[in-house]
Homo-oligomer: A and B are copies of this chain.
Amino acid sequence: MSPSRLQFQLDAQASGSRARATTFRTLHGTIQSPLFMPVGTQATVKAQTQETLHESGSQILLANTYHLLLRPGPEVFKKLGGIHKFMRWPGSVLTDSGGYQIFSLPHSREMTEKGAVFQSYVDGQRILLSPELSIQMQRAIGSDIMMVLDQCIPSTADEQAASAALQITRRWAARSLAAREDSPQSMFGIVQGALYPQLRRESAEGLMELDFDGFAIGGLAVGEEKNEREDVCELTAALLPSDRPRYLMGVGTPLDVLEAVHRGVDMFDCIIPTQVAKRGTAFTSRGIVELRRSVYKFSEDRLDPSCTCPVCATHTRAYLHHLTKTQEPLGWTLVGQHNIHFYHQLMREVRQSILEDRFLPLYKERREILPIEDVDHPVTPPKRTSTKVEHVGDYELCGDPPTIRHSATARIVCTTPQLDATTESQIIQHLRLPADSPPLVVWDTHLSAAATALGVILLYEAEAAKGPVRPLHLVSFSDDLSPLRLALHHKRHFPYLRHGAADTLIRRDVWESRYCVGLKWTLVQDNAGEGPAPDVVVESTREPLAGEGSS
């Protein structure tokens, strides 16, 4: 391999651990690792300003090529001179290749040696995402570090599928590198191979024959167990050259990151710090704090007394609790700002401990504290009173016959798996297309206790029993799984949930029927991603959001 464009330098290597501290240079500055990269999917990190991101010590932001390709589009980056100018970000930017998003699209994509064809959620256009298009787009974005287009598969894929994906990823890697042409941007290869050590080795060796400036470990954090992930991470990191950055994609919680640093990884990205901030989950030096708990209603404490971020310098837990309960955007902003600062602070402390060769004790101490929940205010298990009311989140079971009720508003959740006649006939009409038609996409805008979704599924099964029907993809959106979780505990009262689809959905975010081939149900939580565009939208009885009220 030629020398990395990143002027990589190994600063220190911890004793009794594979943890290391490194320094390298991108087109926009000097980077010190280990480091965490906040995710700016659409050229903005959710609910954060570039100013606070910079002040918290963010060195590199990750941007998503897939989303930016669709909106604002390469032409805007070309006209405005790249993402740094576009979003006024003085630091570095890493772009992914778009592969992950394409391969997590539930359908509407076709894979060939050329690339993956998918349909734009913006204008419905069909687009071939090839290695060349991905790199062209990343060049237009003007990121400091580009990623090769890889074929992502579930980490639980079988060996044959994993091997095939690896082969194509190797060929696409070479094409990606060629497509860089004379750009001064750096490029990382991505090691695949699912959970098969031999495939991971084969993938790493293949990529190391090419002139990459760094290497990523892909295909993890996509369904495997925690210990499986850690084993494969450790094994793969050890295969990689010591003179290039190592990046574990899409990982993870502060604890996950700490574990991977220990296993020799330098770089991380994850949506977790801003995603969980929206529901009031904060990472602190005393473990995880769930700010929506009423135990914080009167708390004049700082969120994390050991934290140096502006949020902890300014606000009380009582105010953050209030903002979370009322779902005010400022709550999302402030808790997210703290969480990002917390990740960076953890990485800075880890780096300092490596430089001073005291990483191992720090690691052992922190791995105990990081995952603890609300250590100072442990959750008391709910008392079972004689009235037998049971709770999950903000929902409770009550009445006779039992219903599920939103505690604050007293609104009853729908538990009747029936569609109205109009929707039903609309779906039936759509299903009458030939079986090889593209799937009918049905959006269930509010999962709630899954009654409406089960209505759709039962209707499909009834129609499929009568004769050929086209495939159906049901997408349920939810920002709170509590009513469904509660209902699943009481199937005796809600017999429609004996179907089993909802159990699978809640565990894996996706359910596919084994009997009606072509019937699929996916879950989109907290607007975390976009489903395919709908042909039919079913309206469910929706509970009001807290704070919505009738003001």
A421 within 8 A of B: no
Interface majority SS (helix, strand, loop, mixed), chain A? loop
Asked whether, in the complex, the Cβ of A298 is within 8 Å of the Cβ of B80, the reply is yes
Interface centre among A48, A79, A325, A549 (most CB of B within 10 A): A549
* CB-CB under 8 A for A71 and B105, given A298-B76, A409-B121: no
Complex CA–CA separation, A407 to B314 (angstroms)? 45
Which B residues lie within 8 Å of A88 (CB)?
Answer: 314-315, 319
Cβ-closest chain B residue relative to A321: B72
A431 within 8 A of B: no
Asked whether, in the complex, the Cβ of A72 is within 8 Å of the Cβ of B121, the reply is no
Complex CA–CA separation, A67 to B548 (angstroms)? 10
A87 within 8 A of B: yes
A366 within 8 A of B: no
Cβ-closest chain B residue relative to A549: B121
Q: How many copies are assembled?
A: 2
A372 within 8 A of B: no
Which B residues lie within 8 Å of A123 (CB)?
Answer: 407-408
Asked whether, in the complex, the Cβ of B297 is within 8 Å of the Cβ of A76, the reply is yes
Which B residues lie within 8 Å of A546 (CB)?
Answer: 122
A63 within 8 A of B: no
- Min distance, Cβ A221 to any Cβ of chain B, angstroms: 16
Q: Which residues of A (12-67) have their CB < 8 Å from a CB of B?
A: 41-44, 46-49, 64, 66-67
* CB-CB under 8 A for A121 and B71, given A298-B76, A330-B44, A333-B49: no
Complex CA–CA separation, A314 to B315 (angstroms)? 27
Asked whether, in the complex, the Cβ of A318 is within 8 Å of the Cβ of B42, the reply is no
A322 within 8 A of B: yes
Which B residues lie within 8 Å of A326 (CB)?
Answer: 42, 44, 71
Cβ-closest chain B residue relative to A78: B298
* CB-CB under 8 A for A550 and B106, given A72-B318, A72-B322, A333-B49: yes
Could you pull out 28 A-B pairs where Cβ atoms are within 8 angstroms? A41-B551, A42-B323, A42-B326, A43-B319, A46-B328, A46-B330, A47-B333, A64-B551, A66-B551, A67-B549, A67-B551, A71-B325, A72-B318, A72-B321, A72-B322, A80-B316, A80-B318, A86-B316, A86-B322, A88-B319, A101-B551, A105-B551, A121-B549, A121-B550, A122-B409, A123-B407, A124-B409, A333-B333
A residues with CB within 8 A of B: 41-44, 46-49, 64, 66-67, 70-72, 75-76, 79-80, 86-88, 101, 104-106, 121-124, 297-298, 300, 314-316, 318-319, 321-323, 325-326, 328-334, 407-410, 544, 546-551
